[in-house]
A = this chain, B = another copy of it.
Amino acid sequence: MATAVIFGAGVMGSATSFPLCDNGHSVRLVGTHLDGEIISRVKARRYHPDLRKNLPSGVEAFELTELERALDGADFILSGVNSYGVRWSAQTLAKVLQKPLPIIAITKGLEADANGDLLSLTTVYERALAEAGGPACSVSAIGGPCIAGELAARRHSCVVFASDNRKRSLWFADIFRTSYYHIWPSAEVYPLEIAVALKNAYTLPVGIACGLLDRPESEDSAGACMHNPAAAVFGQGVNEIKYLVKSSGYNDSFASSLPGAGDYYVTCAGGRNMRLGRLLGSGKTMAEARKEMEGITMESLSIISSMAAALPRLKERGIIDMDRLPLLNYLIRTVEEGVAEPLPFNKFFPEIHF
């Protein structure tokens, strides 16, 4: 049996304690400076206020100040912080980690280097650890359609565990796999990370399509729900995710499979990105929409910014044909101008040649 440290006590990190404890592993849940309330309630009676249920009895909670003690004798770390916390998390770990430990991250995000090449957050994490003088840990990734509350309810959830080191992803999969948490080990870290990050960005225009009905001037005599426009955006979104993964030189099969189409589907079923999109679609400016959603992390916007920085470089280098990315261009414009213009339907599906 292994001893896991979950670093970051948000819903997704904490939910992974269910399969871990069901398999008999010990879990040490360490809160960040943002998780004070969560940790004190888990310490008091195991209740996680955001998951709205008790964590398994195999979970022991730790304050951030107790991180070093939590790491003592641990076999691996599950990083539960979001993309904004990756560097902080690496620096914090670098100070107290005595030896390399395998890390597996649930973080979704995307950065681009100066050449426009897309970086997965696992790479960002590994580099940040090294720069902060920490031991050389390899960072693996979890991706796929997995809403935390459903994993915590032990609903069937299918995910990919990816690591550059094949043995490591098998090792992690064996530790986490249960009758309801189905895991596909994979060595394809980049296509996984790119697909799952991009689907957050591409959920925004699906929300915009749905939000058009909320405009004051729209009438809904047809009982219409904007399914037709949303479905066209979804189809083009899958297309562009596929194109971006492939043009980056990776296998694009994920894009139309579990971590692409499947994850995109579940993200469009609800959540923060759809909500922001709907507000923009209804005619609100980005500033107004962000104000309504104050305090909610919007990783989709930083992914769009990363892509906005990367695209001109990728175009210069002949890697990207901008005509294949009408939706991404639309998203970049929407973020820059702060309002959602009409969706560019006629530019969609350039691959349907005639």
Chain A interface (Cβ < 8 Å from any Cβ of B): 51-53, 144-147, 149-153, 155-158, 160, 166, 169-170, 182, 184-187, 209, 220-232, 234-236, 238-239, 242, 253-263, 265-266, 268-270, 343, 345-346, 348-349, 351-352, 354
Which residues of chain B come closer than 8 Å to A266, judged between CB atoms? 227-228, 230-231, 234
Which B residue's beta carbon lies closest to that of A353?
Answer: B186
Q: Is the CB of A343 within 8 A of B256?
A: no
27 example contacts (A-B, Cβ-Cβ < 8 A) are as follows A51-B222, A149-B222, A150-B227, A150-B228, A153-B221, A153-B222, A155-B224, A155-B229, A157-B232, A158-B348, A170-B354, A182-B348, A184-B352, A187-B354, A228-B266, A231-B269, A234-B265, A235-B259, A235-B260, A235-B262, A235-B265, A236-B257, A238-B262, A253-B352, A255-B256, A257-B351, A258-B349
Q: In the complex the two chains form, what is the Cα distance from A163 to B346 in whole Å? A: 20
Q: How many copies does the complex hold?
A: 2
Q: Is the CB of A220 within 8 A of B153?
A: yes
**Of B146, B231, B352, which is within 8 A of A263 by CB?**
B231
Q: Is the CB of A53 within 8 A of B222?
A: yes
**Of B152, B158, B265, which is within 8 A of A222 by CB?**
B152
Given A150-B227, A231-B265, A265-B268: 13 more A-B contacts, CB < 8 Å: A147-B227, A149-B223, A153-B221, A156-B228, A156-B343, A157-B228, A158-B235, A225-B269, A227-B270, A228-B266, A236-B258, A256-B261, A261-B261
Which residues of chain B come closer than 8 Å to A351, judged between CB atoms? 253, 257
Q: In the complex the two chains form, what is the Cα distance from A347 to B261 in whole Å? A: 18
Q: Is the CB of A224 within 8 A of B261?
A: no
Q: Given known contacts A147-B228, A354-B166, is B263 in contact with A238 (CB within 8 Å)?
A: no
Which residues of chain B come closer than 8 Å to A229, judged between CB atoms? 155-158
Which residues of chain B come closer than 8 Å to A145, judged between CB atoms? 227-228, 231-232, 235
